[in-house]
Structure 1
Amino acid sequence: MLKKVISWLTVRNETIRQGLAEALSTFILMVIGQGSVAQVVIGKNSFGDFLSINLGFGFGVMLGIHVAGGISEALMDYTGGTLSVGGPTGTANIFATYPSPYMSTLGGFINEFITTAVLLIGILAINDLKNAGALPGTHALSVGLLVAVIGMSLGMNTGYAINPSRDLPPRIFTAVAGWGLEVFNASNNWWWVPVVAPMLGSLLGIFIYNIFIDFHNRPRLDGSRKPDCEGDESVEQRL
């Protein structure tokens, strides 16, 4: 009977299986990462600080990778029952990213653009077996540490979304769950920056890694690493 139940629950479609895995891994990332933010904000820095947030997201990414390959009473007590975006009891930043008060929209866009490019360069390097890639079995840890380091060095200005799925779905959730449309209007309509900038920044990161590393490190068909042009006939020979 148990085998029949397991067989009935087993998903055969590869696309659906990948979707379920990605959904669970994203859930793990959000619980750990945003849980670390919630403890810092609600605990008024008594249960962590900026470093713990970075570590939370870093190791959240790590566990999310392993998996794929609510609002508590404490929140309501902290806010006094009023969910707001800004102010001394603002809590919307637990779920989505918002720029620091001193950041302009352009400056924040550039910050997210650059941090995402750095992320992609690091991920490509970690997974590049032709280069000094990560050791087998350590890719998840390496990516998690990469995210943590990016947060510790570049995360203060904008909260380093570096991924549209890290910011937009939680922002929609807060809009529906009681924070209202202010989550989209706040910080000069900031919401589109962590959606667009990471997508463009990822393209920059891929371009930079390919131009500086990958294109020059691909083996030829004969197994050598010499540029293809060195094996071609000279102009004089062709003439």
Structure 2
Amino acid sequence: MPGSLSKRTLTSSDASRYSKEMREHEQIENADVTARSVDDSVDPDILEHYTRYPNRWSRIREYIREPAAEFFGVMILIIFGNGVDCQVVLSKNPAVAASPFGDYLSLNFGWAVGTALGVWVSGGVSGGHINPAVTVALATFRDFPWRKVPAYIFAQLMGGLCGAGIVYANYIHAIDLVEGGRHIRTVPGTASLFSTYALDYMTSVSCWFDEFLGTAVLLIVVCAITDARNGPPPPGLVPLVLFIMILGIGAALGMQTGYAINPARDLGPRLLTAMVGYGSEVFTFRSHYWLWCPVIAPFVGALVGTFFYDLLFFTGGESLLNRPNAKARALHERAANAERQRPIAGVEMV
């Protein structure tokens, strides 16, 4: 019948063959489009899907990376700080070295290097506090979340303990020579290589004020270099400013109490000394000196330093002192955010 070929119904085999040919044609077209995209300098990354958690560990890491950064930041601080203390002091003993390796300025440089590198390592992740006094001051005045404070302080304390343990293991033979044997450990003696002990002539009030003053100066400078309206250093150069600051504090205020200005820097290594043979005397020394001088005084100094900076200079909305009053709230007004809140190290966040 004329026209019967054009109007005939497709069999099942014809339909299957037609479907297969169409799929092959689409695959060829898709491959051609991908090839043309690459050839036309189109970023192949846009053809992929990215996830924040590519595996199980990445999800776990999200919860621990900030405390881990604080841990390693403080550990690096202590490795350089306690390390330079041990090298300079122990090398003065003829049984350890033929000639001294360093002097008081060496101590200042060691602690300054440790601070700068500790902040550099942790700054882009956690903000580079590496100091419980800094953490509490920022939580009190600068909107740092209080829920993070316990984890930060615990990580900082453990970083100090582990850093001191590494240094102790490295210098244990020199300590044995100076002390007269593995079974002898004296306080302050070689315990002062790891934690701070004030000079004998210092009164309790003078010790407390020395640590208070050093930490207040520290926080004033920290507030200034993170204030976008007060000439902050270029991104990434905050560790250099902190290097200069710690070097200056050590050179000007470090003689009398050892300028702890950081509870984790003192308490972490002090715990280590109690564990390795120095005993409870590291805590009972001079009416529990460890608590009221290198721990409480830095916290108070940090709060006072931050308070006065915000009271007189800082205009950003992050500050507790710039919260809108009733009139401003009625007009839906508030201070503009001005601080590069995180990280303290000055790294630009995207």
**Could you tell me the TM-score, scaled by structure 1's length?**
0.82
Q: Please give the residue correspondences for 1:54-65 in structure 2 after superposition, counting only pairs within 5 Å.
A: 54-65=108-119
Task: Note if contact 1:115-1:150 (Cα within 8 Å) is conserved in structure 2.
Answer: yes
Q: Which residue of 2 aligns with 1:48?
A: 102
Deviations 1:19-73 (A, max 9, x none): 1111111111110011001111101281111111111111101111111123231
1:127-146 equivalence runs, <5 A: 127-146=226-245
Per-residue CA deviation, residues 119-145 of structure 1 (Å, 9 max, x unaligned), is: 000111111111121122210111122
What SS is found at the alignment partner of 2:257? coil
Aligned to 1:227: none
Give secondary structure in 2 for the equivalent of 1:75: helix
TM alignment of 1:178-197, pairs within 5 A: 178-192=277-291, 193-197=293-297
The CA deviation at 1:14 is: 3.0
* Structure 2 partner of 1:76: 176
Q: Which runs of 5+ in 1 are unaligned?
A: 1-5, 220-239
**Hey, what's the Cα distance between the residues in 2 that align with 1:142 and 1:11?**
34
Residue of structure 2 equivalent to 1:36: 84
Q: Which moved more, 1:53-62 or 1:9-18?
A: 9-18
Name the residue aligned to 2:33.
none
Matches within 5 A, 1:1-239: 9-10=57-58, 12-44=60-92, 46-68=100-122, 69=124, 70=166, 71=168, 72=171, 73-81=173-181, 82-86=184-188, 90-192=189-291, 193-215=293-315, 218=316
**What RMSD, in angstroms, separates the aligned Cα atoms of the two structures?**
2.0
Larger Rg: 2
SS in 1 for 2:207: helix
**2-side partners of 1:98 and 1:119: how far apart?**
20
CA contact 1:59–1:145 (8 Å) conserved in 2: no
- 1:105, distance to aligned residue in structure 2 (A): 1.1
Percent identity among equivalent residues? 41
Please tell me whether the aligned partners of residues 84 and 91 of structure 1 are also in contact (alpha carbons under 8 angstroms): yes
Kindly provide the amino acid, as one letter, of the partner of residue 306 in structure 2: I
Structure 1 residue 13, shift from structure 2 partner: 4.3
* SS of residue paired to 2:224: helix
The separation in 2 between residues aligned to 1:115 and 1:200, in whole angstroms, is 11
Q: How many residues align?
A: 210
Question: Residues of 1 paired with 2:217 and 2:275: CA distance?
Answer: 33
Offset, 1:10: 4.1
Unaligned runs of at least 5 residues, structure 2: 1-53, 93-98, 125-165, 318-350
1:175-205 Cα deviation digits (max 9, x unpaired): 1111111111223321112110000100000
C-alpha spacing 1:7/1:33, structure 2 compared with 1 (3 Å): farther
Using a 3 Å threshold, how does the CA distance of structure 1 residues 11 and 178 change in structure 2: closer, same or farther?
farther
Deviation at 1:75, TM superposition (A): 1.6
Distance 1:119 1:7, change over 3 A: same
Q: Name segments (4+ residues, structure 1) moved above 6 Å.
A: none
Aligned residues of 1:59 and 1:141 also touching (Cα < 8 A):
no
Alpha carbons of structure 1 residues 39 and 130: separation in structure 2 relative to 1, 3 Å: same
